[in-house]
Amino acid sequence: MLNSTISIVVFSKDRACQLDLTLRSIIKYMKLPFTLSTIYLSTSDEFNAGYEILKDLYKFEFIKQSNLKKDLLSVIDTDLKYYFGMCDDTLLIRNLEYDTIFETFENNQDIMTINLRLGKNVFHNYFEDTVKIQQPKFNKDNTYDWRSINNPHWNHPMTSYGHICRLDEIKSIVEMSEFENVNVLENRIINLAKYKSLNICYDKHRTVELCANMVNTTHLTNICGNISIVDLNNRWLDGYRINLESLDYTIGNHQRFPNIEFKYYKR
């Protein structure tokens, strides 16, 4: 049995409609005790109105971003043991429960994180991509040495989202880092979380990234689709939400989906 509640932090910017989808996936698949806080940034009154609707729909904590570092530290200043970060374009796609993977992580302090973004089933990064991702050599307990492989997928020891880690470790990294957005935080974490060589993953990965659009202003070469955040927000304000079940085809062997198609229904 898990000996602590997990602190889930979801980062969001101008995407209340997609955040609603992320939150529903967590409610559906998260089988471990958790608290959930969303740190959100809205760049217009219309985008802000979308988050106000979410506050009425969910009992989770919503923090309007003023200083990302201070906001994040205020959430993870807790005696909880574990941290799980997500972004508003990420979905849980399979049950996350207390099992042999989590038990192994809990009992082995040499393991840095549980990698939810990748599993032994993932051989391709983007959906319909034909280029195979080189995988690390896995130990019998699904641990692997992230330092042993030189590709930008498996050789991340820890990230701000898509990994479960020990909260005190992510907290110490955040405290010593300066960053203006989640993408820069990601780089800081990757560069600083190198003091343990082991990660662990599931046979089948637990999250996918729906790269439907882009809201960051610092990593402009990231591959994404062209679904307008304004159009999505207008649908949300008009009372529509994205159908989670219509995305079941993402429960496969790929990590990212740039050419996603959303279906909607009246909430």
The pLDDT value given to residue 186: 81
Cβ contacts of 225 within 8 Å, gap of 6 or more: 211, 212, 213, 258, 259, 260
Confidence category of residue 180, pLDDT binned at 50, 70, 90? confident
What's the pLDDT tens digit per position in 229-247? Answer: 999 999 999 999 999 999 8
Does 169 score more than 90 pLDDT? yes
The pLDDT value given to residue 250: 77
Angle, helices 229-237 vs 16-29, to 10°: value is 70
Fold classification of 6-109+159-194+207-262 is Spore Coat Polysaccharide Biosynthesis Protein SpsA; Chain A (3.90.550)
The pLDDT value given to residue 249: 77
Tell me which residue of 13, 38, 11, 9 sits closest to 229, measured CA to CA: 13
Task: State mean pLDDT over 113-120.
Answer: 94
Angle, helices 68-76 vs 167-175, to 10°: value is 150
The pLDDT value given to residue 46: 98
Tell me which residue of 266, 239, 17, 258 sits closest to 128, measured CA to CA: 258
Does 58 score more than 50 pLDDT? yes
Task: State mean pLDDT over 125-145.
Answer: 82
pLDDT above 70: percentage of residues in the chain: 91
Alpha helices in 65-166 (DSSP H): 68-76, 100-107
What does 10-75 look like in DSSP terms, one character per residue? EEEES-HHHHHHHHHHHHHHB-S-EEEEEEEE-SSHHHHHHHHHHHHH--SEEEE-SSHHHHHHHH
Does 179 score more than 70 pLDDT? yes
Q: Write out the two tokens for 42.
A: 């809205």
**pTM for this entry:** 0.92
The mean pLDDT value of the chain amounts to 89
214 or 136: which carries more pLDDT confidence? 136
Does 221 score more than 60 pLDDT? no
The pLDDT value given to residue 223: 59
Sheet holding 163-166, edge to edge: 61-64, 34-41, 6-13, 82-87, 163-166, 111-115, 198-201, 143-145
Does 220 score more than 60 pLDDT? no
Angle, helices 229-237 vs 45-57, to 10°: value is 50
Task: State mean pLDDT over 159-166.
Answer: 88
Task: State mean pLDDT over 97-107.
Answer: 96
Task: State mean pLDDT over 105-121.
Answer: 94
Does 27 score more than 90 pLDDT? yes
The pLDDT value given to residue 53: 98
